[in-house]
A and B are shown apart, each in its own frame.
Chain A
Amino acid sequence: MSEDRSADGKDGGEGAEVKLPPGALVELTEDVLDECIASIVHHTVLSCHRSEKLLRMQSAATQAESLALANLEPQSQKNASNSQPTVPAADTPAAKYENGRVILKGNPLKTTPEIICPHCKLPRLMHPIMGKGMQNPDLTKEYCMLYPWVQRPGHDVFGNPFPTDMAKSKKERELMKQQQKNQEKESVGTPGSQDTDMAGGDGSKEIKLNTGGKPASYIPWHTCPNCKRSLLITRFAQHLEKCLGISGRQSSRNAMAKLSGQNGNGSGVGNTPLGSRMGTPAPGSQNDAAVAKTKGKGISPVKKLGAGADDDDEGENDTPDKKKKKKSTYVKKADREKGGKDNIKVKLKTNNTDRRQSEGTEKSDGKREREGDSIDSENAPKAKKIKLSLGKSGSPPAAAPPSAAVQD
């Protein structure tokens, strides 16, 4: 603004006191831009500097504190009877710990190359364990579980592969179950083996990197809070609709649409193979995976039909008195599941169902016994407990009080 005015003034010859040499405006503009850019750079660099330095400061302090407390332990055990508690103190190259206070020495950015988690007191990994920018860590050390975020196609931020079998048909699932069962027979008593198998992807020696998730083929089972049946999470909405009896008008309309679709343009169903409702499709076939993928996302007219087709894996055919039939087949299904329960048990343990179940204990005990996780529910910490419990007083209550943990 002001530059404009001065330039105008020169041209009009009105503001005679200020004569600007030609090119002054260019120079001025350049200067202003330079300074603005310098300011932006200053701000950006400083904010990055701040976050990195704060991490290093805390790391230096954490290291010193850990050392002080480690030094303290043997002494106090010896002088346990001694009334005078020793004052913990420690001296590291980066910091000095004195009875609860840490005094930094030197510049933490120089003295402390490593970042130590202030909560679990373990070093943080500095590079992702896979994908973009990965580096193989020194696996002889133990690290804080908060790994740098993984950026790798087909994987989530923790490095778990995306689920692939989310919408497999019933037959396929049963086949998979059978396979797993066989595997299980071979290696008894290692229900958790799934996790570690996939986690230790890179020839680990002592410590295994743990992405914490499940293999891509994993689909969780959930217990319906209403009827206590166990079913695949991907079918849950469908089940619950029937279970709660909400399936009023809309469902009959769907059924009509399904019927008309079948009779009218059944062949135009698209990529859902018609055969899937009668025969057994080849498990894990490419085509099916593709269907599965689209199915995961909402519905299209085509997919509505597809979902219908899956229904029919359970109910044999689509007649208007479908509801009745459904009911009967459901019992069958439950019965069938009883047979293959061993397998599910394993899954349930790693699942969060147990927690939910323990809450709904009063409602149906018989069912839960069948699922064999009554033991589990006792062991499984109740959700609330984790937050508040008088747990092991030993562990450093690293996490900040929740309210504060939130601000970043």
Chain B
Amino acid sequence: MDTIAVAPKGASLASPKVVKNSKGAIVPSSQMAHIAYGCEHMGEMLENARKATFHNYRQILQTIFEKPSVIAQTHKGSSDGRPVVSLRPTYLCLQCPNIMTEADRDEHIDSKRHVFAVESRGGHVYCGDCQDFIYDPDLESKRLQKGKKRKFEDTTTTDEHKLIINNSTFLPCRAIGLRGLYNMGQTCFMSVILQTLMHNPFIRNYYLAEGHKTAECERESCVSCALDEMFVEFHSAEKTEGFGAVNMLMGSWLAGEALAGYQQQDAHEYMQFMLNTLHLQNGGSSDSEDCTCIVHQTFHGKLSSTVTCDSCRNTTTALDPYMDLSLDIKNLPKKRKLETGAGSDTQLDLRDCLDRFTGREKLGSAEYTCRNCDGGQNAVKQLSIKMLPPTLSIHLKRFEHSKSTSSKIETKVSFPLTIDLYPYTTQYRSTQGKGAKSSSAPTPSNYNINAPTNSLIYELSAVVVHKGKMDSGHYINYSREGNDWFAFDDSKVVLVSEAEVLAAEAYLLFYMIGSLNV
């Protein structure tokens, strides 16, 4: 490791890199070798016409991501020059307003020497001299912003960078948080929830950025400190064997009497407990309305519940906070079965459950008292999602508790890797007037295929699975790390395929907002 000996010199070098960086490159790369340009040709281009290039590129990105897609997808026909709309990606010249097909692009590059073209679906830049797509750091950061202005300018100064570089130590490359948790005796319910939190980017950012300062925390057996300890261990130790979450167990037991004791627990219950405890221990305010603690920022949403009285049509709306959506998976209406035909093995899908969750529900006169009519009335109740959290957790009600017995519903519920949550929002429901279902999707005039309006795409990020029976089962967790899925089964960590994840008998599902730039 000759580089170590040299690094003090590197520190003195830091300043040119840093100046460069505060101009917009991503901060962490300051500690890595800094690449100036995507390729030699782009380097030449940017040195000669930096402003113009950036300006043109931003314009093109706006065309691609904001204007109706038909604009960027229409090119001139090669034979007669009439406009042709293509579904394939087209190429927009970076130096002139031409829009071309792939073949025309190469011709244009040769004839006009306009070397760079932008592909119309993602805004990637093609270099004709390299004959390859290039990924210039400056242009990429603009592309990932989809041509919008940066919301937050990087405010770290050169001195701060120096300070960071001089005061940080090398972390093992392997310590990226993939560690199992030893089963301490019926603690798998705890492990799965902990793994879920450990792999949630929002929670992880918070803890790794010293969100909870263990050194300053004066609570005894603090759960948040225990979680902090785990994050530090997972992200700084070279070890790969499991971890014994001893302090976490003790902290949990001391904080939540209901969950204490050597016995099997419900993972969902434990999650609610964890979130509540972390909320309290991370400076959460008692008013959950506008609590800004990390737990609320990550998981808190609002449901709107509308009740319409049948006789006077008076509607009352109430907003309820939620940390997860609990969905029924029992006795679903046979509607879908009829629709899909005679398929006897039609699978229950998560979206069916959500449909039902946000569907209309008749309330009997005994259940509802209308203030207007001053008495019990039949009414219709409807739930919808008023506010979505960055991480939506969904709980499938697999465990049924009646007075005497408890049982587990083992119905298979299929779930997608990405889900559009827009149809379950209050906003969508309000556009669907009563009985106006015939004219359903209001077709937007400026339809953009790259950034569709009226869609809220969430991506699956973690799945908690319960295997076995009601009172004798085992929990395992599937979590996504980048593009890879891992199964966390106590202390075992295994790489798994998407197919395996999607085939799992899910109990808890975690969807994360999809538009975060990677």
Contacts and interface: CB of A to CB of B under 8 A. Distances in A.
Interface of A: 32, 35-36, 38-39, 42-43, 46, 49-50, 53-54, 57-58, 61-62, 64-66, 69-70, 72-73, 76, 85, 88, 97, 99-107, 109, 117-121, 144-147, 149-151, 156-158, 160, 162-163, 166, 211-214, 218, 220, 222-226, 233-238, 240-241, 244, 246-247, 250-251, 254, 296-301, 303, 307, 352, 355-356, 383-384, 386-408
25 contacts: A73-B9, A85-B12, A102-B36, A107-B130, A120-B170, A149-B495, A151-B494, A158-B178, A160-B240, A163-B491, A166-B182, A213-B240, A233-B184, A234-B183, A236-B249, A237-B184, A238-B262, A240-B253, A352-B244, A387-B208, A396-B10, A398-B171, A399-B168, A406-B205, A407-B518
Interface in B1-40: 1-17, 20, 26-29, 31-40
B43 A103 contact: yes
A383 B232 contact: yes
B236 interface: yes
B472 A149 contact: no
Contact of A397 (B12, B170, B516): B170
B358 to A, nearest CB: 26
B232 A386 contact: yes
A191 B200 CA distance: 36
Contacts of B164: 397, 401
B33 A388 contact: no
A393 B170 CA distance: 9
Interface residues of B, number: 120
A298 B6 contact: no
A14 to B, nearest CB: 22
Given A61-B35, A406-B208, A50 B135 contact: yes
Given A99-B13, A250-B263, A391-B169, A225 B4 contact: no
A250 B165 CA distance: 53
B67 interface: no
Contacts of A66: 2-3
A212 B466 CA distance: 30
B517 to A, nearest CB: 8
A392 B169 contact: yes
B36 A101 contact: yes
Query: Nearest 10 pairs between A and B by C-beta?
Result: A400-B28, A402-B208, A300-B472, A391-B169, A35-B87, A237-B185, A399-B171, A212-B240, A297-B474, A61-B33
B213 to A, nearest CB: 9
A156 B493 contact: yes
**Most chain B CB neighbours (cut-off 10 Å) among A145, A149, A150, A383:** A383
B32 A395 contact: no
A168 to B, nearest CB: 14
A38 B36 contact: no
A397 B31 contact: yes
B428 interface: no
B3 A388 contact: no
**Most chain B CB neighbours (cut-off 10 Å) among A156, A222, A408:** A156
B374 interface: no
B289 interface: no
A214 B240 CA distance: 8
B261 interface: yes
A107 B132 contact: yes
Given A53-B133, A238-B185, 9 more contacts: A70-B6, A73-B5, A156-B180, A162-B491, A222-B244, A234-B183, A254-B263, A400-B27, A403-B208
Contacts of A76: 9
B215 interface: yes
B283 interface: no
Contacts of A213: 239-241
B236 A356 contact: no
Contacts of B89: 39, 42
Interface stretch (B338-346, B402-410, B481-489): B481-489
Contacts of B249: 236-237, 240
B201 A247 contact: no
Contact of B236 (A73, A151, A386): A386
B37 A103 contact: yes
Contacts of B246: 222-225, 233, 236, 356
A296 B208 contact: no
Given A57-B35, A85-B12, A237-B186, A36 B238 contact: no
B475 to A, nearest CB: 8
B264 A240 contact: no
A393 B240 contact: no
A313 to B, nearest CB: 14
Contacts of A387: 208, 210, 232, 236
B354 interface: no
Contacts of A35: 86-88
Interface string B72-90: 0000000000000011110
A240 B516 CA distance: 42
A234 B472 contact: no
Nearest to B36: A101
Contacts of A384: 214-215, 232
Given A32-B87, A233-B182, A109 B132 contact: yes
A69 B36 contact: no
Nearest to A33: B87
A212 B33 contact: no
B389 interface: no
B468 interface: yes
A391 B474 CA distance: 42
Contacts of B5: 73, 394
A157 B494 contact: yes
B209 interface: yes
B169 A157 contact: no
Given A101-B16, A105-B40, A50 B33 contact: no
Contacts of A405: 28, 208, 235
A302 to B, nearest CB: 8
B169 A395 contact: yes
Contacts of B492: 156, 162-163
A72 B9 CA distance: 9
Contact of B170 (A97, A299, A395, A404): A395
Nearest to B187: A237
A76 B13 CA distance: 13
B284 to A, nearest CB: 20
Contacts of A237: 184-187, 249, 262
B169 A46 contact: no
Given A39-B121, A238-B185, A100 B20 contact: yes
A143 to B, nearest CB: 10
Contacts of B237: 352, 386
A58 B43 CA distance: 16
Contact of A400 (B31, B201, B250): B31
Given A233-B244, A296-B183, A398-B171, A157 B493 contact: yes
A402 B209 contact: yes
Contact of B172 (A145, A160, A241): A145
A234 B182 contact: yes
A239 to B, nearest CB: 8
Nearest to A61: B33
A118 B32 contact: yes
B55 interface: no
Contacts of A214: 241
A310 B207 CA distance: 38
A50 to B, nearest CB: 6
Nearest to B481: A408
Given A157-B494, A405-B28, A405-B208, A118 B35 contact: no
Contact of B201 (A58, A355, A407): A407
A298 B167 contact: no
Given A69-B10, A396-B3, A405-B208, A53 B261 contact: no
Given A43-B121, A240-B253, A404 B264 contact: no
A400 B484 CA distance: 21
B164 to A, nearest CB: 6
B174 A146 contact: yes
B173 to A, nearest CB: 4
